[in-house]
Structures are given as C-alpha cells and as structure tokens.
A and B are shown apart, each in its own frame.
Chain A
C-alpha cells in the first residue's frame, strides 16, 4: 500500500518531477513527531549573530539543554555567507563587497557561498538530536530534513523536488539549498530559499556567479535560480508564515523565545569567534 515518492515515478517522466505522492512517509513523520518541537520566530539579527546562534543552539540541543527547535532567521544587513571550507578569495570579490558595505561571514556548515539580502532570502535552522537520523547516511539525512519543504511547496502549486545532495529545485529553476553541521550528538540543518534576487549585485560580489556567466554566457540551466516571488506572487512574510504552519500541522510546534543566556552566549561568540579574521579568513 505504501508507495514512496521515489518508486512512484512513471516510466519516461523525469525523475521525481511528476509524482504527486508526498515525499514524507509515515515512518519519517513518526521520527519528527517523536520530539516536542519549539519555534523561535524571525527576529532581525546581524549576520554574525545568526552564525553564532546556530552554533550555540545546536550545542545546547546536543547537551539536552534545549528541546529540538525550528528557528526562522531574520537578517538586519546584506552579507555574503561562506561555507565552512571555502576560500574567501575564490568566492568573493572583497573589494567590491567592501565598496558596497557587504559583510563577509563564515558559517559552521560546509556547502557553498550565498549572497543574502534581508528581503531576498527565507532561511531557517533545525536543531535536532542526531538520533532522529539514526540509520541514515549523510545524504539521506539531507533529504529527510527537507522532504516536508518539498511537500509544502507542491501544495503551494510549485512543481518542486529534491535534487541530491542538498538542493531544492523546480521546473523553473533552483529554489534553495541546505547544509548541515553536527555537534555533540546534535545536527544543525539549515535551509535557505531564494525569495527575490538582485542578480547584478550578486554578480558584483560573488566570483562563482561571474565564472558561470563568463563560462556559459548565461547562468547554466541546472543552476538557474527561480526565486519564490516570481513563482508565487506572495509576500515574503506570507511564505514564511505558510511554511511555519505546514511544519506545525505535520510535526507539531510550540512557540518559544531565545533564553537570555543563549542570547548572551551567542553575542559573545559573534564578537570573539565569528567576527574574528581567524575565523572568517582561516582559508584566505
């Protein structure tokens, strides 16, 4: 009776694009529902504080000092967020970034560079015990944490699917990507979806974008980005609210707030660790 999306694909139709079966199976849902999820709603934070909060909160979930949490990000400024293992000079034109007042920060997870504008991105983090992904490969756990997103986007009328290893994509183009880091028995899985795109500015500061353009004349088809604004005509806040409601309906979700000591610890780390060149430029 139970057919997963992966085996419901008709012959001759490209992988995963046409199936209507939900990506999230009942067994997956049971894994989610085994935990009482807390919601930290969007508050505009500096890029550095966002980096630090991810580390503090995943550590606290690992230590059993915080329950599994969904945090919606708010951004107070434009920035470039580098992946943990990326070289600054290979990814960013630092002169252009400085000229435009765009801060360069580095997150704790691997993956690729993002150019962020506060109203252009929809970002959230999940902090969960690693036991939630027991028996899964790393690749399977990426899909597991984003299957509900794909389902929610489909219900919104977007022809979305998961593109391994870590992308959410659609017929019109790529929508978003995810990255994970693991700390002391907990996993951080954060996902960013493009809501709106400032392509000229992105190309000015990110080198990867420049190379794609110069290589191909246009951005390559498989990496073409299709922001949600153009796909839905919905305001950014409405999409965020919709995603939170989808999560609540599927897995349960209880309102929470950042504890003062979590905030204080993140502020200190933003200043001492994430704001230092030792961290941002450790791979120059």
Chain B
C-alpha cells in the first residue's frame, strides 16, 4: 500500500511524497506538488535522495539527505528539504494524505 504525505510551506507551496515501504526502506518514491525547482530537470534528485533510505529515520535525517543531494545542483523555491522531510514523516505515520472518496 502506498504511503502519501503532504507538507504546505506557510506562505509557500505544497510538496507531496508517495512511496512503498519494502523491507523497512522507502521504495518507488515519487515527489509532486506546486513548488518550483530550478533546474526543472532536477526532480529525480529529490526522489533519489529518499529512495532506499530506512523508514526509521527521523525528520532531520531525511532533511539532511535531501539537502545534501540537492547541494549546489538545484534549488527548491516555495518549499524546502525540511518541508519534504515533513511530508515523508507524515506519510510514515499514516496521517499525511487527504481522504478522497473518488480515489480509492
């Protein structure tokens, strides 16, 4: 079952993450939202920073690995590594998604 979490940065944009948890790790990570990312082609860097990471990390550790993956290669605008890390933790706690009757 897919886990999904969202985080809306106050005064900024929404970032959402979806993934499976397999053998205690995040797999098939997909990052979406109405944030901005420059360059745009760097989107896989965000998911890549989370792919195969343990599902047992704390929020600061996810944020650190996202931040180090972005490094100087790309910049999130309207969102942040911390916001994406927040979305991951919400997804892991199972409280991150909107209930949407027409989806399931």
A residues adjacent to B (C-beta < 8 A):
83-87, 89-90, 93, 108-113, 138-139, 164-166, 179-182, 207, 211, 283
User: Do residues A85 and B11 form an inter-chain contact, with CB atoms below 8 A?
Assistant: no
Residues of A within 8 A of B36 (CB): 109-111, 138, 165, 179-180
Q: Which residues of A contact B37 (CB under 8 A)?
A: 85, 110
The answer for the CA separation of A279 and B76 in the assembled complex, in Å, is 21
Interface residue from A87, A165, A166, A181 paired with B32 (Cβ < 8 Å): A87
The reply on B69 being an interface residue by CB < 8 A is: no
Q: What is the CB-to-nearest-CB distance from B38 to chain A, in angstroms, rounded to a whole number?
A: 6
The residue among B33, B36, B75, B100 with the most chain A CB atoms within 10 A of its own CB is B36
Q: Is B103 located at the chain interface by the 8 A CB criterion? A: yes
Is B38 a contact partner of A182 (Cβ separation < 8 A)? Answer: yes
Could you tell me if B32 and A86 are in contact, using CB atoms closer than 8 angstroms? yes
- Cross-interface CB contact of B100 among A86, A164, A181, A207, cutoff 8 Å: A207
Query: Which residues of B15-41 have CB atoms within 8 Å of chain A's CB atoms?
Result: 16, 30-40
The 9 closest A-B pairs by CB, nearest first: A110-B36, A112-B34, A87-B32, A138-B77, A165-B78, A283-B32, A83-B34, A111-B34, A84-B40
B40 and A211 contacting across the interface, CB-CB below 8 Å: no
Produce 1/0 per residue, B1-15, CB < 8 A to A. Answer: 000000000011100
Q: In whole angstroms, what is the CA distance A110 to B41 when docked? A: 11
- Count how many pairs of residues, one from A and one from B, have CB atoms less than 8 Å apart in the complex: 61
- Interface residues contributed by chain B, number (CB under 8 Å): 23
Would you list 20 pairs from A and B whose C-beta atoms are within 8 A, ordered by A residue? Answer: A84-B40, A85-B31, A85-B32, A85-B34, A86-B32, A86-B34, A89-B103, A90-B32, A93-B102, A109-B36, A110-B36, A110-B78, A111-B34, A138-B38, A139-B77, A165-B36, A166-B78, A179-B36, A182-B38, A283-B32
Known: A139-B77, A211-B98. 14 other contacts (CB 8 A): A83-B34, A86-B32, A87-B16, A93-B102, A108-B40, A109-B40, A110-B13, A110-B37, A110-B40, A111-B13, A111-B36, A112-B13, A165-B12, A283-B30
Closest-CB distance, B66 to chain A (whole angstroms): 15
B residues adjacent to A (C-beta < 8 A): 11-13, 16, 30-40, 43, 75, 77-78, 98, 100, 102-103
Q: Classify the secondary structure of A's interface with B.
A: loop
User: Separation in Å of the B16 CB from the closest CB of chain A?
Assistant: 7
- Chain B residues whose C-beta falls within 8 Å of the C-beta of A109 in the assembled complex: 36, 40
Inter-chain CA distance A83–B77, complex, in Å, is: 14
B32 engages A110 (CB within 8 Å): no
Q: How far is the CA of A89 from the CA of B103 in the complex (A)?
A: 8
Assembly CA distance A211 to B34 (angstroms): 15
Of all chain A residues, which has the CB nearest B32? A87
CA distance A62 to B39 in the complex (A): 15
A85, A93, A139, A180 — which one has the most chain B CB atoms within 10 A of its CB? A85
Partner of B11, one of A89, A164, A182, A207: A164
**In the complex, A166 Cα to B78 Cα: how many Å?**
9
Chain A residues contacting B102 (CB-CB under 8 Å) are 93
Q: Does the CB pair A165–B16 fall under 8 Å? A: no
User: Of A86, A93, A165, which is within 8 A of B77 by CB?
Assistant: A165
Q: How far is the CA of A256 from the CA of B37 in the complex (A)?
A: 32
Give the chain A neighbours of B39 by CB distance below 8 A: 182
B97 — nearest CB in chain A belongs to which residue? Answer: A90
